[in-house]
Amino acid sequence: MEIILKRVEAGIIIPLRHSVLREGQPLETAHFEGDDKEATRHFAAFRDADRELTSPLACASFMHNIFMDIDSMHLRGMATHEEFRGMGIGSRLLDYSIEYIIKESGIRFFWCYARIKASNFYTKHGWEHTGEFVEFPGVGVHKVMIKNVANHKSP
Q: How far apart are the first and last CA of the chain?
A: 25
Give me the sign of the Cα torsion angle 92, 96, 97, 98.
positive
Q: How many domains does the chain have?
A: 1
Alpha carbon separation from 103 to 20, 144, 154 (Å, rounded) = 29, 25, 7
Residue 79 inside a domain? The answer is yes
Q: What CATH number does the domain containing 85 carry?
A: 3.40.630.30
Q: Which domain holds residue 13?
A: 3-110
pTM beyond 0.75: the answer is yes
Q: pLDDT for 16-51, tens place per residue?
A: 999 999 989 999 999 999 999 999 999 999 999 888
| 46 inside domain | yes
Condensed to tens digits (0 to 9), the pLDDT of residues 44-72 reads: 999 998 888 889 999 999 999 999 999 99
